[in-house]
Amino acid sequence: MNTWKDKKNIILALLTVICVATIGCNSLLDSVTPATRHALAARYLGDPNLAGVTSLNKLKEDRTTAIVKHRSEQVNLKRSAEDDKLAYQDAIGFIDRNIEESQIMQDLIVGAPDQPFSLLGVLAGFTGGAAIGRALKRKGDKDENEVEVEVAKRMNGAA
């Protein structure tokens, strides 16, 4: 009977060890379980040569690595977008100021609707500025016929 008890204890001990190894050591099982790593996943992880047969444990590590890489890339993209937005705002600010300064200079030389005098008009009496001034036409300027029609409309409207 002692032998039966010993065999029984040995069998129970082996079953206990197998159960503990099966249930408690998933990483051990994951290390010996074969799996396949897709080529696109290997390329995303940075090494296309990693594609092929691997273990389940390695795939789980790859999943964590891919999540970390994705989050890092997203943070970098967000920072890059913020930097680009600031650079864009600076560039637009400089461009707008340059346009404003150039428009002021043009208004001084050629004239503007809110400015009664222009440098070209003042020089017209002394030089061929009158001819130059007549040759320049800005966007929105009206020719003689359009001016006559506009004056006639306003005079008829005022009467």
- pLDDT, average across residues 44-64: 90
CA atoms within 13 A on the CB side of 53: 3
Interatomic CA distance for residues 26 and 83, integer angstroms: 45
User: Which one is predicted more confidently, 140 or 127?
Assistant: 140
Mean of the per-residue pLDDT values for the chain?
A: 82
Residue 62: CB atoms within 10 Å? 19
Q: Are 136 and 110 in contact (CB under 8 A)?
A: yes
Interatomic CA distance for residues 82 and 85, integer angstroms: 5
* pLDDT at residue number 134: 56
Tell me the Ramachandran region of residue 136: left when phi exceeds 0, alpha when psi lies from -120 to 50, beta otherwise.
beta
Distances (CA, A) of 150 to 57, 139, 140, 153: 84, 17, 14, 5
Residue 34: phi and psi, rounded to 5, are: -75, 150
User: Which one is predicted more confidently, 53 or 139?
Assistant: 53
* pLDDT at residue number 7: 82
Model's pTM, two decimal places?
0.50
Interatomic CA distance for residues 57 and 34, integer angstroms: 9
Interatomic CA distance for residues 43 and 49, integer angstroms: 8
* pLDDT at residue number 59: 92
